Amino acid sequence: MNTKASVPDARGVATLTITGSGPLNIINAAIIAESTRAIEALAGDDAVRVLVLRGASDRSFIGGVDVKEMAALTPESAEDFISQLRALCDAVRHFPVPVIARLPGWCLGGGLELAMACDLRIAATDARLGMPEVKVGIPSVIHAALMPRLIGHARATWMLLTGEPADASQALAWGLVHTTVELPQLDAEVERIAALLAGFGPAVLRQQKRMLREWEDTPLDTSIDRSVAEFGRAYGTGEPQHYMSAFLNRKR
């Protein structure tokens, strides 16, 4: 097994560890398929409130996809291969609850696509993130399409055409990651954010994540109109009554 999924703890926090090959945690088609199955299984577990996605070490999150495997592809098998990576990223992007990416060291190519599919990206200050596909003769595709939305067209153009990586400070300033901490504090910060999210109502987390995905493809006025009904539906879960009552009692 190259992918290890933990059962959700008492708070509902689950962790998926993807273990590739070499010090940079390089993944291949078998690991991609295995990881997709693991994420789909976790998506069906109602006990999961937050998912943490990480690599096996502090050297990298995922340093990319196995170039030896990709070098042997044909036009037909290449489409099948990239479709499998798309399925993995889609499984993360549409996971029903928030997904946190733990990003130490290198995060390259397909690894960065997977990180961008996550909802929150917490990086160590030694992180270096890049899309170097053009350097080996292929374009950055599938979830690289998220990059202009995340960091703007000019910055995405720079990263995708030059293949140059961004360091942690650039990634933070550009909005490619949400926060950075020194490597020794990375686990504590991931834990802090996971615990924060797990403390919220599980229904509202699922509702908010689903709405965030819908807003990406829906005209603004339509999103606003639909959100009125979503606000009403929240009161059918009992969570507003519970959490607002607790808030008001604290204020007394």
For 97-161, the DSSP string reads S-EEEEE-SEEETHHHHHHHHSSEEEEETT-EEE--GGGGT----GGGGGHHHHH-HHHHHHHHH
Residues of the chain with pLDDT under 70: 1, 251-252
Question: Which positions ≥6 away from 94 have C-beta within 8 Å?
Answer: 213
In this prediction, residue 250 carries a pLDDT of 84
What's the pTM? 0.95
The answer to whether 49 and 11 are in contact (CB under 8 A) is: yes
Phi and psi for 22 in degrees, rounded to 5? 75, 175
In this prediction, residue 252 carries a pLDDT of 64
In this prediction, residue 5 carries a pLDDT of 78
Q: Give dist(CA 40, CA 167) in Å, integer.
A: 32
The β-bridge relationship of strands 50-55 and 13-18 is parallel
Q: Give dist(CA 157, CA 174) in Å, integer.
A: 13
The answer to whether 180 and 125 are in contact (CB under 8 A) is: yes
In this prediction, residue 7 carries a pLDDT of 82
In this prediction, residue 44 carries a pLDDT of 96
